[in-house]
Amino acid sequence: MFQEMRETHAEGQASVKRSGLSPNPSPPDHRRTVTRNELSYQLVTFRFKEIIMSRRSKTLLTLAVVAMAAFGFTTAMANAATLTFTDSFETDSGWSSYKTWNYSSGYTLAAPAGAGTKYWYHSGTDGVKDIALTPTLDPADIDAGRGAYSLSAWLGSYTVQPDRGQLRLLWLDVSSAPIGVAAETFDGGTIVTNGEWQQFTGSGTVPVGARFASLIMEDSPTVGMEGGENDGYVDLLDLEVTAIPEPATMALLGFGGLAMLRRRRRA
The listed CATH number (2.60.120.260, 3.40.50.1980, 3.40.50.850, 3.30.590.10) that belongs to domain 81-243: 2.60.120.260
- 140: pLDDT confidence band, cut at 50, 70 and 90? very high
pLDDT at position 241 over 50? yes
Measured distance CA(96)–CA(127) in Å, rounded: 5
State residue 14's pLDDT score.
Answer: 55
* Cα angle, residue 79 at apex, residues 207 and 246 outer, rounded to 5°: 55
pLDDT at position 102 over 80? yes
More confident residue, 201 or 5: 201
pLDDT at position 247 over 80? no
Q: Averaging pLDDT over each range in 7-11, 33-37, 77-81, which range is the top one?
A: 77-81
Q: CA-CA distances (angstroms) from residue 42 to 32, 55, 77?
A: 15, 20, 51
State residue 37's pLDDT score.
Answer: 54
- 246: pLDDT confidence band, cut at 50, 70 and 90? confident
What letters, b where the CB count within 10 A reaches 16 and e where it falls short, cover 106-121? ebbeebbeebeebbbb
pLDDT at position 185 over 50? yes
State residue 249's pLDDT score.
Answer: 40
pLDDT (average), residues 128-152: 95
Q: CA-CA distances (angstroms) from residue 114 to 87, 110, 236, 265?
A: 12, 11, 8, 53
**Domain ranges across the chain:** 34-79+247-267, 81-243
Measured distance CA(190)–CA(180) in Å, rounded: 25
